[in-house]
Amino acid sequence: MFVDKSMTRKVIAISPDTIILEARETMKENGIRHLPVVDAENRLLGIVTDRDIRSAMPSVLLDDADSNEVRKRLARVTVKEIMTPDPVTIPPHYTIQDALLLIQKTRVGAFPVVDETGRLTGIVSIRDLLRAFINVLGIGEPGMLIGIQVEDEIGQLKQIVDAITEEKISFGSVLVARYWEEGKRAVFPYLLTNNAIRVKKKLQDLGYALIDPMDWYLDQIPKND
């Protein structure tokens, strides 16, 4: 699945001359946390986040006199003074997997999507990616996740799929954890059924060890230094 199929197309963008108080209200009214900053031809110049705006706002501990003066100064502060210029962007032909890897690498919550001319065509956020993966994985439909420990050998996944389909059970998706134990992997089929007793027994009869999907936690995934 490509980014242009998952991104938000109706992007709320602002000009670099927008007052930050106005940008804050725009975020609040639309329930968003990122505002791309564009020029008159919709070319991306930067991005401003709710964190940028909070950092630029005065402390709540200011007295009334100081607050009035600060508000006057804030009324003159524009987005271009606090935005991140030349932000990390993503092209529309990238996959959602590419986008997830980029989020992990850059630690940002949303990417403007730009075409080859630098014009803004959309924005993709963690929320968009979660929605896309819910659709891809089929977990929006009623079902259940089971965990199976397998040897790291060719043919294991086919045997599992055959065993499940023989029971006339459909798949929402199948995930494979590459990192589990030495010489082993963990397979997590999401089955579109509420009764997996028979298929679980069948898998155990085939010699597979069933595991609790809750044992698949993030600390088992190697971290980049």
225 inside domain: no
The domain that contains 156 carries what CATH number?
A: 3.30.70.260
Are 130 and 150 members of one domain? no
Domain that holds residue 101: 3-135
The pLDDT confidence band at residue 82, using thresholds 50, 70 and 90, is very high
What is the C-alpha separation between 138 and 173, in angstroms, rounded? 6
10 and 54 fall within a common domain? yes
- Give 53-64 pLDDT, tens digit per residue: 988 876 443 445
State whether 89 and 149 are in the same domain: no
The structural domain count of the chain equals 2
Output the six-digit token pair for 42: 């919709």
Radius of gyration of the chain (CA): 24
Clarify whether residues 118 and 167 are in a common domain. Answer: no
What is the identity of the amino acid at 213?
P
Higher pLDDT, 135 or 41: 41
Co-location of 187 and 116 in the same domain: no
- Here the tokens at position 85 are 């210029």
Residues 165 and 128 in one domain: no
Q: Are residues 193 and 99 in the same domain?
A: no
pLDDT interval class at 89 (50, 70, 90): very high
Residue 197 exposed, middle or buried by CB count within 10 Å (0-12, 13-18, 19+): exposed
List the 84-85 sheet strands across, edge first: 34-38, 44-49, 84-85
The 10s digit of each residue's pLDDT in 159-207 is 999 999 999 999 988 888 876 678 888 899 999 998 999 999 999 999 9
Tokens of 168: 């006339």
How distant, in Å, are the alpha carbons of 104, 109, 118, 132 from that of 113?
A: 17, 13, 9, 16
**Which pTM does this prediction carry?**
0.70
Cβ 185 vs Cβ 154: under 8 Å: no
Assess whether 195 and 103 both reside in one domain.
no
Rounded CA-CA distance 177/1 in Å is 20
Confidence at residue 212, expressed as pLDDT on a 0 to 100 scale: 84
pLDDT tens per residue across span 27-45: 999 999 999 999 999 999 9
- The answer to whether the Cα torsion of 140, 136, 102, 46 is positive or negative is negative
* Secondary structure letter of residue 208 according to DSSP: P
Q: Which of the four pLDDT bands, split at 50, 70 and 90, describes residue 225? A: very low
**Summary mean pLDDT of the chain:** 86
With cut-offs at 50, 70 and 90, classify the pLDDT of residue 215: low
